[in-house]
Structure 1
Amino acid sequence: MTRTATIVGSGPNGLAAAVTLARAGLHVRVLEAQDGIGGGARTVESTLPGFRHDLGSTVHPAAIASPFFRAFGLDRHVDWIVPDISYAHPLDGGRAAIAWHDLERTADALGHDGHHWRALVRPLVRRIEGVVDFTDDQLLRIPRDPVAAARFGIRVLEQATPLAATSLRTPEGRALFAGVLAHANTRMPSLAAAGAGVLLAAYGHAGGWGLPRGGARAITDALAQDLRRHRGTIETHRRIDSLDDLDWGDPAAGDLLLLDTSPRLLLTAAGLPDRYAESVRRYRYGPGIAKVDVALDGPVPWANPDVAAAATVHLGGTRAEILAAEEQVARGRVPDRPYVLAVQPSVVDPTRAPAGKGVFWAYTHVPSGSGFDATETIIRQVERFAPGFRDRILAIHSVPAESRSAINPAEIGGDILGGAFTLRQSVRRPVVSRHPWRTPLPGVYLASAATPPGPSVHGMAGWHAARTALHDMTGLELSLADLFGV
């Protein structure tokens, strides 16, 4: 009898798990609560017809670097656009710091800080595969490339203290790195923020901060097509509120259930051991995001021309301003002058908007579950560096943190990272274990961003969960080479 696998959630991790199990010979079905697949990795016309916005992230450096996606051959299915500029950081007075894909160009433009930027990033870029291997798995193991892991760890420790500001001394250099640190949506400086920032900066000069032509849905569409080619099925409008109401098979016969969801769904199952249930209850969720999608009648009128060519823009001013804004969020407040992560995909991908028009989205960090509408706050922060932005707006679609779970039920309180991004939860995600994807329930596994390696579109949590499930079923250690023949 062919064994079956049910996957709850069709985000990149859920689909990566589904592809793995279908290629291993199981009958796989994916259940998705929404009317379309992808979770946050969906592309919709949320403002006006012809303006294609991503519900979650647009730029995917982790997908380009992902061992799973590289073995899968995602580059054969997705037309990647890798901009010359990985990210830009405008400052007052028309100045800007630019992280070019070219490391040397970035360092040269930073002047006095060029040497420090090279020292920070170049050793990681040179051993990027070892860095990715270390960071794309759980941390309780011996790394395959100890040198790469050591170099990464040293730089994280350097950047995790207040003294880190002395390694980059110019306003441009300090702001450029602060902007990438703030992706972690946590207190700064900290080990968690430093880990995220160092890795993202290395991605920027290695494979680059690429985006799929046409939108994030290109990634999930490629996975879904592969799943269907291997007899898998996908059912939309299938919201699962309790595992006890889910008919997913017989674990004694080897049937599997993988959850690309918040770990909280496990609490609905009868028989969950008290100790594990308490760990799930103690698992923390972080601040949320308030996001706005904007349709424009032309490009954003940035004061600095280099910023106009960047797909990703970090707004927030100086390093000190960004640290202060993130501290306010951590204390449960909405900053007046927040850190804003903005993306303007239409400057490099003309398929995203009608000719001559522009697609723009931005989010800012807010307290968990906040109902704050960030539209005006974000517009003011953009106008600070792009006077006239307001006059180019055709339409806006705003989603506060409290409404994010309607898009993706795993985004508890608007937390898009799958759980608070802290040092403790980099190891305890959601439990401390060498195999955190395995649950105490027979045949049930977690395959979401609440497990290692955590957030970003990389599919690795799904791969690790499916690989663990197959090992428990067969005793065999499946490799990516076994699965994809590479």
Structure 2
Amino acid sequence: MFARAGLSVRVLERSGTIGGGARTAELTLPGFRHDVCSAVHPMGAVSGFFRRFGLESRITMLTPEISYAHPLPGGRAGIAFRDLDRTVARLGRDGAAYDSLLRDLVARDDEVAQFTLSSILQVPRFPATTALFGLAMIDQGMPWWNERWRGEEAPAMLAGVMAHAIRPMPSLSAAAAGLALAVHAHARGWPVPQGGSQSIVDAMADDIRAHGGVIETGVEVTSLDEVRGARAAVFDVSARSMADIGGDRFPAWYSRALRRFRYGNAASKVDFALSEPVPWLNADVSASPTVHLGGSRRQVAAAERDVARGRHATNPFVLAVQQSVIDPSRAPEGKATLWAYTHVPRDSDIDQTEVITTEIEKYAPGFRDTILASSSRTARDLENYDPNYIGGDIASGAPSVAQLIARPVVDVEPWRTPAPGVYLGSSSAPPGPSVHGLGGAYAARSALRHEFGIDTLPDLSPSRPHEERT
């Protein structure tokens, strides 16, 4: 955004390659391309930043017919087709209840995205949609969350999307995350970038360079003194790291707020190179890039409660993504990749390869025999890979209701720090986790206004480079 406004831009990246949580690499065997962190991008499809940036005209986003699947014992499964009518028809006696919960919100998908992907302290632009979403949150985020359901498939499906928040269930914060994901599943779908998540970052990097920006890798910024010459500096770091970098340039109250910011529990991830696609018992699960594992709603909630209490779940929730179902470029012909993580207590150093393999085997007997190689990262490994993932918290801060209000402080412009020209644009600031680009975009928008007097946002669509204005 700075480069598009005609400003000179220098991007400093701690690692040897850019990408953060959106890198793609051969983690197991040659020819198998794995997403290192993020894999499926429902928020990328609805993000106001990516839509203004024209992401889908820059890279190929593959949107499946089935957004996600949730297998259950006996070959049964809840299937979230992008087509809401088809989903409802398959849910039998719970179809009408599922329809009444989601249909009006699916019809207002753009407004749901605007509300959920902005600072919670901003006045809602669409109060009717905000009210509808709030009622759905209360319905599915409180102890009576099972009152509308009669079967297992529909509540299990919703528990699966709520589990993405790594929060106890039922809870309002988990319900908010899950409902937003479910709404987008039936509106724009859950797309997968062809070639890997790295393609999103590469498209952004290409645009920066095309407009005069410079990207330097292998450079770690540890103090504001190292960016003293910049009129504006936007940091994509955790709240804790921001406190360290700011040091005595921040007032004591702000440093205390950054250091009080709480981190959630963690993920532990395993990537598999497979000799063939996963042998799911249910054919629709075989066609779905995203699969939620963990059994019934009661079982998924129990697993997440265990993690919230600092215990490894005996029967854990597992999020699996089989990208090669929709993107054959991820693996050699006839073979497949599988990306999977489970939730664990923060700072866990226990390898979850066997746990994840066992959970998949329940719904895909013979899976173990398809494994050619695997690559595992514990929660501690994830923090070593990316210091923003404190203790393996891939959300860079627990997405509790309190921390959606104070992320990391209570302010209508929480991206702007008290230090002149210094901004926080990471997942530790609104709107929080996921690959949507909005934390940085909101920080940049604030900096353009306060540091450069630019109130009109620059055009971000694919175009010729602008004249540089320093």
The residue identity in structure 1 corresponding to 2:410 is V
How far 1:483 sits from its partner (Å)? 4.9
Q: Does 1:132 align with 2:110?
A: no
In 2, Cα distance between equivalents of 1:114 and 1:445: 46
User: In the alignment, which residue of structure 2 is the partner of 1:7?
Assistant: none
Tell me the secondary structure at the aligned position of residue 27 of structure 1: coil
2:99 to 104, 118, 127: 118
In 2, Cα distance between equivalents of 1:31 and 1:473: 20
Number of residue pairs aligned between Structure 1 and Structure 2: 461
The residue identity in structure 2 corresponding to 1:133 is Q
In 1, Cα distance between equivalents of 2:73 and 2:226: 55
1:370 to 319, 337, 348: 348
List gaps (5 residues or longer) in structure 1: 1-19
2:297 to 302, 319, 334: 319
1:405 to 378, 383, 407: 383
Contact kept, 8 Å, 1:143 with 1:149, in 2: the verdict is yes
Alignment of 1:226-245 (within 5 A): 226-240=207-221, 242-244=222-224
How far 1:484 sits from its partner (Å)? 4.4
Q: Does 1:36 align with 2:17?
A: yes
C-alpha change, 1:472 and 1:186, in structure 2 (3 Å) is same
Q: TM-score, normalised to structure 1's length?
A: 0.93
How far 1:265 sits from its partner (Å)? 2.1
User: In the alignment, which residue of structure 1 is the partner of 2:242?
Assistant: 266
Larger CA deviation: 160-169 vs 411-420: 160-169
Q: Does 1:427 align with 2:408?
A: no
Contact kept, 8 Å, 2:323 with 2:338, in 1: the verdict is yes
User: In the alignment, which residue of structure 1 is the partner of 2:2?
Assistant: 21
User: In the alignment, which residue of structure 1 is the partner of 2:466?
Assistant: none
Contact kept, 8 Å, 2:261 with 2:397, in 1: the verdict is yes
In 1, Cα distance between equivalents of 2:242 and 2:90: 50
In 1, Cα distance between equivalents of 2:444 and 2:452: 12
User: In the alignment, which residue of structure 1 is the partner of 2:29?
Assistant: 48
Tell me the secondary structure at the aligned position of residue 373 of structure 1: coil
How far 1:272 sits from its partner (Å)? 1.2
User: In the alignment, which residue of structure 2 is the partner of 1:196?
Assistant: 177
The residue identity in structure 2 corresponding to 1:309 is A
User: In the alignment, which residue of structure 2 is the partner of 1:307?
Assistant: 285
Contact kept, 8 Å, 2:240 with 2:261, in 1: the verdict is no
Tell me the secondary structure at the aligned position of residue 470 of structure 1: helix
List gaps (5 residues or longer) in structure 2: 464-470
Over the aligned positions, Cα root-mean-square deviation in angstroms equals 1.3
Contact kept, 8 Å, 1:266 with 1:272, in 2: the verdict is no
How far 1:245 sits from its partner (Å)? 5.0
Alignment of 1:41-190 (within 5 A): 41-190=22-171
The residue identity in structure 1 corresponding to 2:347 is G
Tell me the secondary structure at the aligned position of residue 70 of structure 2: strand
User: In the alignment, which residue of structure 1 is the partner of 2:417?
Assistant: 439
In 1, Cα distance between equivalents of 2:377 and 2:241: 24
- How big is each residue's C-alpha offset from its partner over 1:355-404, in whole Å with a ceiling of 9 and x where there is no partner? 00000011001111110100000000000100000000000100000011
In 1, Cα distance between equivalents of 2:456 and 2:167: 35
1:448 to 405, 420, 426: 426
- How big is each residue's C-alpha offset from its partner over 1:276-301, in whole Å with a ceiling of 9 and x where there is no partner? 11111110000011000000000000
Contact kept, 8 Å, 1:90 with 1:96, in 2: the verdict is yes
Tell me the secondary structure at the aligned position of residue 147 of structure 1: helix
Tell me the secondary structure at the aligned position of residue 144 of structure 2: helix
How far 1:453 sits from its partner (Å)? 0.6
Contact kept, 8 Å, 1:120 with 1:155, in 2: the verdict is yes
- How big is each residue's C-alpha offset from its partner over 1:238-285, in whole Å with a ceiling of 9 and x where there is no partner? 122x214523415xxxx1111011122222222211111111111000
In 2, Cα distance between equivalents of 1:51 and 1:37: 20
In 2, Cα distance between equivalents of 1:357 and 1:271: 54
In 1, Cα distance between equivalents of 2:15 and 2:217: 6
Q: TM-score, normalised to structure 2's length?
A: 0.96
In 1, Cα distance between equivalents of 2:433 and 2:374: 27
Contact kept, 8 Å, 1:138 with 1:452, in 2: the verdict is yes
Contact kept, 8 Å, 2:415 with 2:443, in 1: the verdict is yes
Contact kept, 8 Å, 2:60 with 2:194, in 1: the verdict is yes
Contact kept, 8 Å, 2:227 with 2:233, in 1: the verdict is no
The residue identity in structure 1 corresponding to 2:209 is R
Tell me the secondary structure at the aligned position of residue 199 of structure 1: helix
- How big is each residue's C-alpha offset from its partner over 1:84-128, in whole Å with a ceiling of 9 and x where there is no partner? 000000001111110000000000000111111111111111111
User: In the alignment, which residue of structure 1 is the partner of 2:367?
Assistant: 389
User: In the alignment, which residue of structure 2 is the partner of 1:247?
Assistant: 227
Contact kept, 8 Å, 1:24 with 1:483, in 2: the verdict is no
